[in-house]
Amino acid sequence: MLLKSLEISGFKSFAKKTTLEFTAPISAIVGPNGSGKSNVAEAFRFVLGEQSIKSLRGKRGEDLIFNGGKSLSRLNRASVKLVFDNRSKVFPVDFEEITLERVVHRDSVNEYLLNGSQVRLKDISELLFSAHIGTSGHHIISQGEADRMLTASIKERRAMLEEALGLKVYQVKKEESERKLAKTAENISSVESLRREIAPHIKFLKKQVEKYEKAIALREELSLLYLLYFKIEDEYISSEKVRLHEERKVPENTKQSIAFEIRNIKEVLSKKDEHKKESDEIIDLQMKVSDARAKKENLVRDSGKLEAEVSYISRTIRDEETKSRENDHKTILLSEVGTLKRSIDEYVAESERTEDASTLKSLIVKIKEALGSFIETRASSSVEYEEKIRTLSIEREDKMKEKEKIEIAIGELTKEETELRQKEQNIKADMDRRKDDTFEAEKKMLELMGKEQEIENTLHSIRLEEERLHIVNEEFKRDLHEAGMLIGHEVLRFKETMSGMGTDATMPDMVNRPAQIDRRKEVERKKIRFEEMGGGNGAEIMKEYEDVSARDQFLEKELLDLGESSVSLQTLITDLENRIDTEFKEGLIKINKEFETFFALMFGGGHAALKLVKEEKRRVIDEEEGEETMSGMGTDATMPDMETKEGIEIDVALPHKKTKGLVMLSGGERALTSIALLFAISQVNPPPFVILDETDAALDEANSKKYGDMIERLAAHSGLILITHNRETMSRAGVIYGVTMGSEGFSKLLSIQFEEAVSVAK
């Protein structure tokens, strides 16, 4: 006996805790009408998870809770507890005893407990399915439902048989798999939609990344070119400084020696009174020549500086003109042109809808303003370039004018110097003609002063080169700063970088200045292209592209997984359908065998069988109600909207009668047929218990005895709980529970021993 006990507390009329022990194969529950004995069957339905309050004879959840009586107030909760013996492992859990409990509260909240632990209704249902206890209630026949199997539709009969055969668990798995399959299809559609949405964005980002990668490659080229250029320029400047410093030493030392000799000769000449006047005049002329030369050198130096500045400004103007030309050919995005076109199309469309002259004039002004704004917005950078070029050109003109003034002054000083030298030559000629004693001294003086002039010219050339080198060095510093801002601070460490790259042995010739100038021009060209590409500022675009690509790859993998899952679910559904079909047909053969036996026992012969039939129905739309209805058989078989239902038809033939079919049976015959079918189902796949609520009410005495024999046979496989008024049925019970209801208004339970039950029944 798998069923051990039932405990009812606060459920319907059972106000107080009531326990029924099922120690015998057959237990009977008796009592007068209205005492609440049928509430016991409903307590079974309740604890097994029945969700229809109507089938429990109520409207709301609180209708299942004791509502109070004369001596007891109403309760706030009702609970039913069912205990099974699981030593034979009918239930697939590691407990020797299974306790199922359901609690309902006044707010209709339900709790389900398994061995004291709260679980879900789904967990309870799956556990009961494994023991052939389902929700259709084929094992619980309540009062008035004895012929439910006969009145059911063919589809409902099939569902009842599937549950009785233990196939409900497969049906549940199949339905769950179908839900998962539908959800998987939705997910596949959603993932495909997401991939379609992000595909244009990925395409756009990919183009931006390609542009960024080109900028990075150009940055690498520019960086290497900068490093080489700076390395050569730095070493050139350093070597030139050393060279000029060394070249300056000898002339300066010689100049000091000559100056010393000149001072000595001047002292000798100063003692000759007769030649003092000429000597003073020559010295004065030399001083004037020296002053003129010094002024001319300063002007030449200033002229060189201005020439370098004009050269730098000219190069800057060429760069800006190059940028301006490239800006004039700048590509305008098609999306921007499309936006302008849509705006103009809207104005044109509006003009076509009106004939008002003022409105047309206003629309023309709007189109003009839109075009002007579009051009002005894109031409702003060209205006900036032109303004900058104009400013630089003015500055260059000013420098050139200043240089022209300096060159005029240089020419005047050169003329003055020439005149002074001519005068000096005339005096010297006079002195030569006199050939006095100071001739040699003065000759020596003149030689020394000539040498001094040559040395001064040499030093002047060195100073000009130093000025030129200073300008080169300043440009080098500016280029280095600009490169650091554009490429990064690593370019400032060009010495260490180039040394680490081991390029010293392959360095180009530093003396080859034209090649270095060409290298600088290449740097300028690549720099302009790099700036046009955005200066390599695309790290965020790259990161976004990587993120979006990773998401697309994830969605692609998820789509593949979903596809595999869909195939797996379809295979599982097909396997479950095949298993259900196979086991159902095998079970139907067994049930028919038992049905034939029980039917012959009840009627003394005859024939009864369950047949698997298919019924086709066509969908018909009710034009007035707008609802779908189903027309029966006999419709046009070629109609497109046909639906096939597979179910169970009951075929019976009574002995000694020509009666065939269920519709021709009397009420008693229907009851006997229903009981025979119920017992046949229970014999093939016995549930742990069967509850029969007054299913014998319509039987006469002879049939009651047959009914009693059948329930004894059925009790060999399932525990029977009989709610009955029939004495013959009561006589077969091992334990009889009596249910009474006094004036207090709640049900009470009385147990009667078998011997006493027999005497009462007789």
> Which tens digit of pLDDT belongs to each residue from 708-727?
888 888 887 788 888 888 88
Is the pLDDT at 630 greater than 60? The verdict is no
pLDDT tier for residue 642 given thresholds of 50, 70 and 90: low
pTM for this structure? Answer: 0.49
Specify the pLDDT at position 104: 92
Is the pLDDT at 225 greater than 80? The verdict is no
CA 703/CA 706 separation, integer angstroms: 5
Specify the pLDDT at position 81: 94
pLDDT tier for residue 595 given thresholds of 50, 70 and 90: confident
CA 89/CA 130 separation, integer angstroms: 10
Q: How many CB atoms lie within 10 A of CB 320?
A: 20
Is the pLDDT at 288 greater than 90? The verdict is no
Is the pLDDT at 276 greater than 70? The verdict is no
Is the pLDDT at 436 greater than 60? The verdict is no
The whole-number average pLDDT for the span 34-46 is: 86
> Residue 330 carries which DSSP code?
P
Q: How many CB atoms lie within 10 A of CB 300?
A: 18
* pLDDT, averaged across the chain: 78
The whole-number average pLDDT for the span 591-597 is: 85
8-22, 73-87, 129-143, 654-668, range with the lowest pLDDT: 129-143
Distance of CA 126 to the CA centre of its chain: 36
448-462, 504-518, 682-696, range with the lowest pLDDT: 504-518
pLDDT tier for residue 254 given thresholds of 50, 70 and 90: confident
CA 735/CA 27 separation, integer angstroms: 5
Task: Kindly write down the DSSP assignment for every residue of 417-434, as one continuous string.
Answer: HHHHHHHHHHHHHHHHHH
CA 73/CA 75 separation, integer angstroms: 7
Specify the pLDDT at position 377: 66
239-243, 268-272, 551-555, range with the lowest pLDDT: 268-272
Specify the pLDDT at position 7: 93
Is the pLDDT at 506 greater than 60? The verdict is no
CA angle 79, 80, 82 (to 5 degrees): 150
123-132, 427-436, 511-520, range with the lowest pLDDT: 427-436
Is the pLDDT at 574 greater than 70? The verdict is yes
pLDDT tier for residue 505 given thresholds of 50, 70 and 90: very low
Specify the pLDDT at position 102: 93
Nearest to 217 by CA among 525, 530, 500, 485: 530
pLDDT tier for residue 143 given thresholds of 50, 70 and 90: low
The whole-number average pLDDT for the span 348-376 is: 76
CA 29/CA 750 separation, integer angstroms: 10
Q: Are 691 and 721 in contact (CB under 8 A)?
A: yes
The separation between the first and the last C-alpha atoms of the chain, rounded to the nearest angstrom, is 27
The whole-number average pLDDT for the span 639-653 is: 70
The whole-number average pLDDT for the span 643-668 is: 75
Specify the pLDDT at position 83: 93
Bridging pattern class, strands 140-141 and 26-30: unpaired
Q: Are 710 and 740 in contact (CB under 8 A)?
A: no
Is the pLDDT at 245 greater than 90? The verdict is no
Is the pLDDT at 124 greater than 50? The verdict is yes
Query: Which residues contact residue 262 at a Cβ distance below 8 angstroms, ignoring those fewer than 6 apart?
Result: 445, 448, 449, 452
Is the pLDDT at 380 greater than 60? The verdict is no
CA 367/CA 497 separation, integer angstroms: 57
Specify the pLDDT at position 626: 46
The whole-number average pLDDT for the span 502-507 is: 50
The whole-number average pLDDT for the span 224-250 is: 80
Beta partners for 98?
Answer: 84
**Which is more confident, 329 or 94?**
94
Longest dimension (CA), the chain: 188
CA 500/CA 502 separation, integer angstroms: 5
Burial-class residue 244 by CB neighbours within 10 Å (0-12, 13-18, 19+): middle
Specify the pLDDT at position 621: 46
Is the pLDDT at 643 greater than 60? The verdict is no
Specify the pLDDT at position 761: 53
Tokens of 560: 């593949």
Task: Kindly write down the DSSP assignment for every residue of 86-106, as one continuous string.
Answer: -TT--SSSS-SEEEEEEEEET
Distance of CA 215 to the CA centre of its chain: 29
pLDDT tier for residue 111 given thresholds of 50, 70 and 90: very high
pLDDT tier for residue 378 given thresholds of 50, 70 and 90: low
Is the pLDDT at 636 greater than 50? The verdict is no
pLDDT tier for residue 82 given thresholds of 50, 70 and 90: very high
Q: Are 19 and 102 in contact (CB under 8 A)?
A: no
Specify the pLDDT at position 125: 83
Task: Kindly write down the DSSP assignment for every residue of 553-590, as one continuous string.
Answer: HHHHHHHHHHHHHHHHHHHHHHHHHHHHHHHHHHHHHH
Is the pLDDT at 217 greater than 80? The verdict is no
The whole-number average pLDDT for the span 356-377 is: 75
Domains of the chain in sequence order: 1-133+688-762 (3.40.50.300), 275-433 (1.10.287)
Is the pLDDT at 735 greater than 80? The verdict is yes
Q: Are 631 and 617 in contact (CB under 8 A)?
A: yes
Specify the pLDDT at position 627: 44
Q: Are 407 and 303 in contact (CB under 8 A)?
A: yes
pLDDT tier for residue 283 given thresholds of 50, 70 and 90: confident
Beta partners for 94?
Answer: none
Is the pLDDT at 255 greater than 80? The verdict is yes
The whole-number average pLDDT for the span 334-363 is: 76
Is the pLDDT at 633 greater than 60? The verdict is no
Is the pLDDT at 206 greater than 80? The verdict is no
Query: Over pLDDT 70: what percentage of the chain?
Result: 81
pLDDT tier for residue 350 given thresholds of 50, 70 and 90: confident
3-state secondary structure of 73: coil
